[in-house]
Structure 1
Amino acid sequence: MDEVEAAYEWVEDKLVFEPQLVGWQSAFKHGLLEAGVLPYNGFTFKHIVGTKIGGTIFDPDGHRHSAADLLEYANPETIAVYLHALVHKILFTTEGDQRPRAYGVIYQDADGVFHKAELAKNTMNEVILCAGAIGSPQLLMLSGVGPRVDLESHGVSPVILDHPMVGKGMGDNPLNTVFVSSPRPVEASLIQVVGITKFDTFIEGFSSVKLPNNMMHTFFQGVLSLLNETSHSTLAVIDFYKQLNVMEIDGWIVNKVDGPVSRGHLELRNMNPDDNPSVTFNYYQEAEDLEKCVKGLKTIIKVLNSNAFSSYKYPNATARELLNRMLSLPINLRPRHESAKFNLTQFCIDTVITVWHYHGGCQVGRVVDKNYKVFGIDALRVIDGSTFLKSPGTNPQATVMMLGRYMGQKILRERNASGENNEDYSIIKDDTDKSSSSSK
């Protein structure tokens, strides 16, 4: 755990800043405290019950930082980053009764040309899969590692390993939201204040999200593209934009269920790695998750009715009315029930949306061991959010980056202990590099 903490601190030191609360976020903070989300824990990275100010990846000048910044600390002599390179398949050796061993990948470049990249001949070399909760289980399946029946039904051949737990245990933290219009000017802010309840929900807020030049536009791009591709017409999408503009949204308070019990699965739709697989998250399938949602919404209602937040809500707009107008918006593909206007349980079911905190599919203890090595296969690890049993805290990015740092350090120690030259480990034989026999 000391090494985990050190890895978190390393990431925090490179990328994370303390936000400065003003206006709307300050009122939201005091509204949470007035609603009973206690104690006040101030600025902290820890996920403890109460109201806190969390870290932000936006610096004081408003510039966003990300995991890409961490490449600054890499050794350029031992790393090569290929852009627009889509991996299609992991390659395995399968000789006799020996365990399959990963030895490279097939990938496609931006021009559609296929290339093979192979590991150099070194027993410590390995393929490390970091394609995320959707991409990693999908790529394992496309490579012949997964439930045999599912793979054979899609024509995957050969089946390298019948691995029934690949794609299982898929989770996403269900999110329900309330839009708020303000009678006074509101500054732009992303999540800064977080209310962590005793019943395992996270209550967070954004402000000044007017369309079209704001974060709201970006947030709904994914939702709207889905609506447009499925049962909703382009006219419905345009109407959605119009409704949002008319509403003059100034704030957005959300309730996220932490560690949902409801779980789903991922399956291939076809053999194209460029297509999304079919994913079922089973939001609110379990009553326990629904109960948490209802309690969270009741807390949001208290925030909306608080004295601290009153100046950022029109006095004639009741909390229930603010919730009910969500029912008129096509934020998901679920049917609306009349009972949702007075029943919070039904409201949770009808208005649930994703918060993109996908996890599972290659979980520790099921698909990979405690060292993130894939069971039954040599020289292959999965190190990303697909290994999580739950998505931690307000956003999984800190834990994903911590995991990368933690495992990177651990792998280096293993290689040092082997007595081998570390610089040899990342060498790959790659047919894209015609100027030399290998690239690092």
Structure 2
Amino acid sequence: MVLPETSSCGCTFADTSFLTGVCGANFTLFMGLVEYLLRNQCDITDPCRRFGAKTAPNRAANHYDFIVVGAGVAGPVVASRLSELSEWNVLLLEAGPEEPSITSVPAFSVSAIGTSLDWKYTTEPSSQACLSTGGRCKWPRGKMVSGTSGMQGMMYTRPHASIFDEWGKANPGWSSQDVLQYFIKSENNLNPDLVDPGYHGFSGPMVVQQFPSRPPLADVVVEAGTQLGYRNGDLNGHNQTGAAVAQMMVYEGLRASTARMYLRPFLNTRENIKIAVNSQATKILIDPATKKARGVEYVDQAGNKQTVYALKEVILSAGAINSPQLLLLSGVGPRKDLEAVGIDVIVDLPGVGRNLQNHVAGSIGFYMNEASTNSLTLESVEEFIQNRTGNMASTGLTQTTLLMTSKYAKDGVSDLQVFFNGYSAKCSKSGASEECESTGSLQNCANRRLQARPTLTIPESRGYLKLNSSDPLDYPLIYPHYLESQSDVDILVDGIKLSIQLANTPALQKYGLVLDTTPVKGCENYVFGSDEYFACAVRRETGPENHQGGTCKMAPAEEELAVLDNQLRVHGVTNIRVVDASIFPTLPNCNPTSVIIMAAEKVSDLIKKAWEGQALERTV
């Protein structure tokens, strides 16, 4: 539901209301009250710096120097950096609505999953993973300004240096030393005492810091990690492996999306940038003779087909599914697949949509010796509104992270990231402090249940996507091929065992953690706790972590699956670039948002270097 923002703030914008429906019918009344209270806080909604005032282009103004497609993570960075040059006109297209106010509240950081703000992709059936749902995995992807980052937990982590050094072997300029400057450029770290010198920035747009609040058990989980031999320190500095209460992309108690930090400060002062929300790109217009992009077709918020023209470049930042989909719809991709759906081939590029990777998780549950009462209360709502602190100012126990090594890890590089779920303040029926979590009952609460999610961060399995038809509004066919490599299963099984070791440390045993031995449905014939049982459980209840990437692989042209050069230009089409998670040759072994921001900063500099000082060229 889209509602007008309250006029008491002096401005209006179309805000999306969704919170009342995410917890179930019995929770609607209280959750509606929470949403109403939050959406009447002007510093939360920030209506005077929203994109509603930057209307979609009309036929009198349909030429731009640069067209950026997708306002998720990378798009706002690139649009902001390019618009720093006042002589350049920039258009940013976004398929979904403006960033909803409620998604900025940490307690509701993932609440948009499954709503109208989610593309709601599902994968094609597999015989290896997601077996409890017929082999189909749900793939939440954000359809809004902020993209999928608007339905993730705000965590800021960087990969091991060896990941970039491997990238840099084939792609000059992408080694760990090459990219560090762009991490530093983007970052404004507000916890200088917690980080290693030489690795962090303190004046960039993206604010990074710990949440102002956390449950006491968060520090206990970190202590448990140290009792297994892992250090507690900066995981984004000289050594990635360890356990920590993570730093987050959060500012003044609210999500620090790239749209908020890179674009909103300049919307009222830069006349050379336009943002069109609810405007879904459907095709890049490429001249078959010159192999140059001329512009972009899109469907506007009224459902009308529009065309805008690029004088210099088109930059795709539509994400690991939509960026390759747009290239395919535009005639760039594997010849056989394009001809099968009736699309004229402009550039035969076999790698488009291939090399698909994702982090994937197992899970294991534990019970504590305390009642499972709710963390979302009337008191916590009041505290958040007044001070931006308390239970709603964090993601609960999920803000802890442990970057661990399985027994299969190579050279000490973390291949597992373990998260714990618990103490979430995302749902309540009454707001009473004695309310039982999940049920809404006010008495006889069950023991609190925690869940560990050991996540495979260096997968060997590779999938692909392809078009289902030539209709741009038709979802592509996604074949993730999860767990087709047995080594991926082996690492996850070891991750579950490490999670149990964590629960059995003296630190966590003070809370009486007891393993939940309820068998996963379909795995009852295996001995609980055996490798065979855990392998079954991983295949039955597969947990995709929504870190998809690799589908527009950066690699030299001679590589079979290469899509982009080291300047992030599409091979064969010099004025289309891609910057999002699809560019990754291999996935970062961590949450990928920081890497996408880094890449967006880097490609912005590459574009400036390519065009600064040159006369305006029309490619239309």
How many angstroms does 1:12 deviate by?
2.3
Q: 2: CA distance between counterparts of 1:58 and 1:282?
A: 34
Match of 2:585 among 389, 396, 402: 389
Tell me whether 1:263 sits opposite 2:486 in the alignment. Answer: no
Encode CA deviations 1:349-375: one digit per residue, 9 max, x unaligned: 222111000001110111111111111
Map of 2:218 onto structure 1: 25
Encode CA deviations 1:292-318: one digit per residue, 9 max, x unaligned: 11211111001111221124455xx3x
Tell me whether 1:50 sits opposite 2:242 in the alignment. Answer: yes
Closer/same/farther in 2, CA of residues 205 and 118 from structure 1, 3 Å limit: same
Match of 2:607 among 400, 403, 411: 411
Contact persistence 1:206–1:253 (CA under 8 A): yes
Map of 2:427 onto structure 1: 212
Match of 2:563 among 362, 367, 387: 367
The SS at the match of 2:487 is: helix
Q: Gapped runs of 5+ residues in structure 2?
A: 1-175, 189-205, 376-390, 410-414, 430-437, 556-561
Encode CA deviations 1:345-403: one digit per residue, 9 max, x unaligned: 22222221110000011101111111111111221111111011222143111111111
Q: 1: CA distance between counterparts of 2:364 and 2:282?
A: 40
Task: Work out the number of aligned pairs and report it.
Answer: 375
Q: 2: CA distance between counterparts of 1:136 and 1:404?
A: 15
How many angstroms does 1:272 deviate by?
3.2
Map of 2:483 onto structure 1: 284
Match of 2:575 among 373, 379, 401: 379
Listed as ranges, the matches of 1:31-110 within 5 Å are: 31-36=224-229, 38-42=230-234, 44=236, 48-59=240-251, 61-69=252-260, 70-72=262-264, 76-95=270-289, 98=290, 100-110=291-301
Map of 1:353 onto structure 2: 543
Tell me whether 1:15 sits opposite 2:201 in the alignment. Answer: no
Listed as ranges, the matches of 1:211-250 within 5 Å are: 212-213=427-428, 250=449
Tell me whether 1:398 sits opposite 2:588 in the alignment. Answer: no
CA RMSD of aligned residues (A): 2.9
How many angstroms does 1:47 deviate by?
5.8
Query: Which amino acid is 1:151 matched to?
Result: L
Closer/same/farther in 2, CA of residues 180 and 105 from structure 1, 3 Å limit: same
Contact persistence 2:333–2:350 (CA under 8 A): yes
Query: Which amino acid is 1:16 matched to?
Result: V
Encode CA deviations 1:158-210: one digit per residue, 9 max, x unaligned: 22122111111100111112344433367651533222223311112232137
Contact persistence 1:18–1:43 (CA under 8 A): no
Closer/same/farther in 2, CA of residues 43 and 264 from structure 1, 3 Å limit: closer
Tell me whether 1:112 sits opposite 2:342 in the alignment. Answer: no
Encode CA deviations 1:108-153: one digit per residue, 9 max, x unaligned: 0111011100123xxxx11111111111111111111111221122
Contact persistence 1:87–1:105 (CA under 8 A): yes
Map of 2:368 onto structure 1: 182
Closer/same/farther in 2, CA of residues 357 and 246 from structure 1, 3 Å limit: farther
Q: 2: CA distance between counterparts of 1:303 and 1:357?
A: 25
Query: Which amino acid is 1:371 matched to?
Result: Q
Contact persistence 2:317–2:323 (CA under 8 A): yes
Encode CA deviations 1:52-100: one digit per residue, 9 max, x unaligned: 33221234x53111111211465723221111110010001122xx4x1
Match of 1:130 among 317, 320, 334: 317
Contact persistence 1:209–1:251 (CA under 8 A): no
Listed as ranges, the matches of 1:322-337 within 5 Å are: 324=518, 327-328=520-521, 336=523
Closer/same/farther in 2, CA of residues 209 and 65 from structure 1, 3 Å limit: same
Query: Which amino acid is 2:232 matched to?
Result: Y
The SS at the match of 1:367 is: coil
Q: 2: CA distance between counterparts of 1:273 and 1:247?
A: 48
How many angstroms does 1:43 deviate by?
6.3
Query: Which amino acid is 2:480 matched to?
Result: F
Map of 1:433 onto structure 2: none
How many angstroms does 1:42 deviate by?
4.6
The SS at the match of 1:80 is: strand
Contact persistence 1:168–1:265 (CA under 8 A): yes
Q: 2: CA distance between counterparts of 1:127 and 1:393?
A: 29
Closer/same/farther in 2, CA of residues 255 and 351 from structure 1, 3 Å limit: same
Contact persistence 2:369–2:447 (CA under 8 A): no
TM-score, L = length of structure 2: 0.56
Match of 2:338 among 151, 160, 183: 151
The SS at the match of 2:570 is: coil
Question: Which gives a bigger RCO, structure 1 or 2 (Cα 8 Å, sep 6+)?
Answer: 1
Match of 1:308 among 507, 530, 534: 507
Q: Gapped runs of 5+ residues in structure 1?
A: 215-240, 329-334, 430-440
Closer/same/farther in 2, CA of residues 159 and 336 from structure 1, 3 Å limit: farther
Match of 1:164 among 328, 331, 350: 350
Query: Which amino acid is 2:275 matched to?
Result: V
Q: 1: CA distance between counterparts of 2:493 and 2:527?
A: 12
Q: 1: CA distance between counterparts of 2:524 and 2:351?
A: 36
Closer/same/farther in 2, CA of residues 250 and 151 from structure 1, 3 Å limit: same
Contact persistence 1:24–1:207 (CA under 8 A): no
TM-score, L = length of structure 1: 0.77
Match of 1:195 among 388, 402, 407: 402
Closer/same/farther in 2, CA of residues 312 and 351 from structure 1, 3 Å limit: farther
How many angstroms does 1:246 deviate by?
8.6
Closer/same/farther in 2, CA of residues 43 and 362 from structure 1, 3 Å limit: closer
Q: 1: CA distance between counterparts of 2:588 and 2:246?
A: 14
The SS at the match of 1:251 is: strand
Encode CA deviations 1:228-262: one digit per residue, 9 max, x unaligned: xxxxxxxxxxxxx879x997755332111112011
Closer/same/farther in 2, CA of residues 210 and 55 from structure 1, 3 Å limit: closer
Contact persistence 1:31–1:303 (CA under 8 A): yes
Closer/same/farther in 2, CA of residues 147 and 353 from structure 1, 3 Å limit: same
Q: 1: CA distance between counterparts of 2:526 and 2:459?
A: 24
Closer/same/farther in 2, CA of residues 7 and 180 from structure 1, 3 Å limit: same
Closer/same/farther in 2, CA of residues 211 and 410 from structure 1, 3 Å limit: closer
